[in-house]
């Protein structure tokens, strides 16, 4: 996902954590080098497309994803960045510039066309805070799975892990933060989704 890059791991504390624990940045460098080899997306049983973020106006087929060069830092723009940073919006059609500063906002029509062209049934992704731990959109063809409970120790959100069985039925295992992982912060828990959130 978009967090597995040098810039974001530096901003969100992984770099500092490695330096603090190991006395230098070598471990951080090994991890971020390895992150450059993580797959862009996956196809589950020829029926479900899974990606971190969303879709790109530059990509129409799975073959176009297969030929992307993955062994690199996630760029700031282009098809690979779009797959990591884009988000759905049930109130929009087509593609629109994202307020995140990277990727796009896309509507149900975009998802429907992508699924049809590629002969797949559903799309799964993460990347976006869901207060209930997951969100299902676009007549059940599109799901967001959020796995960080009480994100940033302040949103009070649930999280989920998705199970897909042999018949491709989906079950969302919803969970809350473990008590020993709840941190008291000066800022109160925010109920409701923020206007702009980075993942």
The answer to whether 3 is a known catalytic residue is yes
CA–CA distances in Å: residue 50 to residues 103, 123, 172, 190:
17, 6, 15, 29
3-state secondary structure of 145: strand
Nearest Cα neighbor of 80 from 111, 53, 105, 107 is: 53
- The first and second tokens of residue 148, run together, are 């960080």
* Helices and strands (DSSP H and E) totals, the chain: 6, 10
DSSP 45-62: TTTEEEESS---TT--SH
Instruction: Tell me which residues are annotated as active site.
Output: 3
């Amino acid at each position: 996902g978009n967090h597995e890059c040098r810039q974001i791991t530096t901003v969100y504390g992984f770099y500092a954590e490695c330096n603090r624990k190991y006395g230098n940045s070598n471990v951080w460098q090994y991890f971020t080098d390895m992150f450059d080899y993580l797959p862009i997306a996956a196809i589950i049983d020829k029926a479900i497309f899974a990606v971190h973020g969303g879709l790109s106006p530059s990509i129409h087929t799975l073959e176009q994803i297969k030929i992307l060069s993955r062994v690199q830092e996630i760029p700031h723009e282009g098809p690979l960045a779009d797959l990591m940073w884009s988000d759905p919006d049930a109130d929009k059609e087509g593609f629109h510039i994202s307020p995140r500063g990277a990727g796009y906002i896309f509507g149900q029509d975009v998802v429907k066309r992508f699924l049809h062209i590629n002969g797949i049934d559903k799309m799964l992704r993460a990347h976006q805070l869901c207060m209930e731990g997951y969100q299902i959109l676009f007549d059940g063809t599109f799901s967001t799975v959020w796995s960080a409970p009480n994100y940033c120790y302040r949103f009070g959100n649930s999280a989920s892990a998705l199970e897909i069985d042999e018949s491709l039925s989906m079950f969302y295992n919803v969970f809350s933060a473990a008590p020993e992982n709840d941190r008291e912060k000066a800022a109160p828990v925010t109920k409701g989704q923020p206007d702009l959130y980075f993942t």
